[in-house]
Structure 1
Amino acid sequence: MIVITTPTGQIGGRLLELLLADTRTRGERLRVIVRDPAKLPDAVRAHVEVVTGAHDDVEVVDRAFAGADAVFWLAPSHGRAPDLDALYSGFTRVAAKAFATHGVGHVVGVSALGRGTPVAGRAGHVTASLAMDDLIASTGVAYRALANPTFFDNLLWQVASIRDHGVFTETVAADRAAPRAATRDIAAAAAALLLDRSWTGTGEVAVLGPEDLSPNDLADIMSDVLGRPIRYERQPLDAFRTELAGRGMSDPLVQGYVDMMRAKDDGLDDGVRRTAPTASPTTFREWCEQVLKPAVQA
């Protein structure tokens, strides 16, 4: 049995689709933990077991992990969490205990690039995510952390600006090239690990996309695909801080994002070499054609 957390999110939802479509899943029971089962598509609910609740609840994870062979783990974002430890390791502690209690064999988690880089210890959310990986690994379960760069899909938060003003913003230098990946490729990497389960021990699986791209590169590709000029505007970190605070996010979480983006500009995502196994397939152009363009036109 495979247990999937966040089955209505960008990565968890796509992972569930992939598992249901893969012939290797036949004979494999799928169970999901979800706060609101109504958010699951009807076709999905008909083929999975549903445990209703939050996956930091002792009773919920005990019901969900009973008889589980593998778990897909993602600590959800929570803008009002008191601090970064609570958001990642704090949220995960109940599950970490339950992995051992129920003899879960394999766990695949969503994490970040950066381990071993000079800035890993001062990278805010990434630093906290790596500590969460260490917590899970300490339970003795076979664990693979999906080490991810910035998502292409983050641009969907800026669809209105791209559509109405031809502008997108980030905080990194305009010419700073770094790996970027599509969330659907992260889901595919998770599916492959969950269906195989021949692996042992702990480690990372990087999902780097097919090429490094700078914000200027993104602007050029978006301009070509959308058929209109799109430009990049670098946002100062102070303005970024003010924007996040305006969304009601707690001060420690805001600082965590500021520290993470500063670290990305200082090379946080540069520590893993791209190879055939780490070069996920979806190009930014393909993602723009298949995801961004329809969103802009909607």
Structure 2
Amino acid sequence: MIVITAPTGNIGRHLLTRLLESAPAAGEGLRVIVRDPARLPEAARGHIEVVTGSHGDAEVVDRAFEGADAVFWLVPPDASLTPQDAWTGFTRPAARALAAHKVGHVVGVSALGRGTPPAGRAGLVTASLAMDDLLAGTGVAYRALACPSFFENILEEAASIRDKGVFADAVDADREAPLVAVADIAAAAAGLLLDRSWTGTGSVPVLGPRDLSPNDLARIMTEQLGRPVRYERQSLDELRADLLGYGLDEAFVQGIVDMKRAKDEGLDAGVVRTPDTTGPTTFEHWCAQTLKPAVLS
């Protein structure tokens, strides 16, 4: 039995689709934890077990993990909490349930940066790495999918790209770094969940085909969208003020700012790209398939 948390989110919906196609042939049952079962895809109805509720709730994860062989773990960031509460605090009930039910394998979505100098002061990334340590300490075989920034983050800028031809971030315009499509993260998770021959704990980097700078992204978006797109660098002070203006928790906002600063200092750099750690989705392909329809809608 494989348990999927956050099955209607960006990564989880891709993972659920993959496992619906491949898990039955492998003799695997599927169970999901979801707040709103109505958001599950039609193809899943009648083919999965559903536990309704939040996977941050002790009673919910206790029911969901009973008889489970493997769990896909993803924390939905809660900007009303501190980073520590949002990741480690949210995960603590699950850690107890994993140990109580002797779940064998867990695949979690985490971040790049472990072992790099900025990692200890990288805000949300530091909180995510602490979550990994909590899960690894339960005795399960654990693999943290160590991810860089997602292509999908740019969808938040779709309106600005459409109306102004501009997208913004807080890193240097020429800072090259890995990025990845969420579908490729889901593919890596599916592979680990279905082939559980691995043991112990560790991280698995999930990278796109090549490192890209904001200026590279602007050039590719210009080519793919057929309209000029440029990058504007936002200062960290401007970013902080904008996020506080949305009513986010002050500590969570500082966690975002610290993460952005660490990424600009090379938090995601230095990971060796190999065939095993490289997803197939190029930024060009993602722009054509995902960003272009969002911008032109």
TM-score (normalised: structure 1): 0.98
Alpha-carbon distance in 1 for matches of 2:93, 2:253: 25
Distance change >3 Å, CA 31–CA 119, structure 1 → 2: same
Name the residue aligned to 2:235.
236
Report what 1:185 is aligned to: 184
Post-superposition shift, 1:23? 6.0
2:146 is matched with: 147
CA–CA distance in structure 2, aligned partners of residues 57 and 76 of structure 1: 13
Q: Is the 8 A contact 2:23 2:194 kept in 1?
A: no
**Residue segments in structure 2 that go unaligned for 5+ positions in a row:** none
Match of 1:46 in 2: 46
Counterpart of 1:75 in 2: which secondary structure? coil
Cα shift readout 1:166-198 (whole Å, capped 9, x = no counterpart): 000010000000000001100100000000001
User: Residue type of the partner of 1:260?
Assistant: M
CA shift for structure 1 position 273: 1.0
- Do residues 72 (structure 1) and 93 (structure 2) align? no
State the one-letter code of the partner of 1:243.
D
Give the Cα separation in 2 of the matches to 1:220 and 1:248: 33
For the Cα contact (< 8 Å) 1:113–1:271, is it kept in 2? no
What is the identity percentage for the equivalent residue pairs of Structure 1 and Structure 2? 67
CA displacement, residues 52-111 of structure 1 (integer Å, 9 cap, x when unaligned)? 001111111111000000000011111111x11110111101000111100100000000
Q: Equivalent residue for 1:16?
A: 16
1:92, 1:151 → 2: CA distance?
Answer: 22
State the one-letter code of the partner of 2:131: M
Please report the TM-score for the alignment, with normalisation by the length of structure 2. Answer: 0.98
Contact 1:5 1:55 in 2 (8 A): yes
Deviation by residue 1:244-272 (Cα, 9 ceiling, x = unmatched) = 11221100000000000000000000131
Name the structure 2 match of 1:288. Answer: 287
Indicate conservation of the 8 Å contact 2:26/2:194, yes or no.
Answer: no
Shift in CA distance, 78/3, structure 1 to aligned 2, threshold 3 Å: same
Within 5 A, what are the aligned runs for 1:187-202?
A: 187-202=186-201
User: Contact 1:124–1:259 (CA<8 Å) still a contact in 2?
Assistant: yes
Structure 1 gap ranges (5+): none
Question: Does the CA contact (< 8 Å) of 2:122 and 2:258 recur in 1?
Answer: yes
Instruction: Tell me the SS of whatever aligns to 1:67.
Output: coil
Q: What are the within-5 Å matches in structure 2 for residues 239-250 of structure 1?
A: 239-250=238-249
| Conserved? CA contact 2:74–2:109, under 8 Å | yes
Structure 2 residue identity aligned to 1:263: A
Q: Deviations over 1:206-254 (max 9, x none)?
A: 0111000000000000000000110000011111111111221100000
Q: Output one character per residue of 1:32-71: Cα deviation in whole Å (capped at 9) or x when no partner.
A: 0001111112221221110000111111111100000000
Q: Distance in 2 between matches of 1:184 and 1:199?
A: 22
Which residue of structure 1 aligns with residue 262 of structure 2?
263
| Inter-partner Cα distance in structure 1 for 2:222 and 2:180 | 19
Counterparts of 1:247 and 1:105 in 2: how far apart (Å)?
A: 41
Counterpart secondary structure, 1:177 = coil
Distance 2:21 2:267 in 1: 35
d(CA) in 1 for partners of 2:22, 2:60: 27
How far, CA to CA, are the matches of 1:26 and 1:210 in structure 2?
Answer: 29
Paired letter, 1:130: L
Cα distance in 2 for partners of 1:254, 1:20 equals 37
Aligned equivalents of 2:163 and 2:25: distance in 1? 43
| Contact 1:114-1:271 within 8 A present in 2 as well | no
After superposition, the CA RMSD in angstroms is 0.9
Aligned mates of 1:84, 1:10 — CA distance in 2: 20
Q: Which amino acid aligns with 1:176?
A: R
Q: Which runs of 4+ in 1 moved over 6 A?
A: none
**1:95 counterpart residue number:** 94
Q: Distance in 1 between matches of 2:3 and 2:246?
A: 32
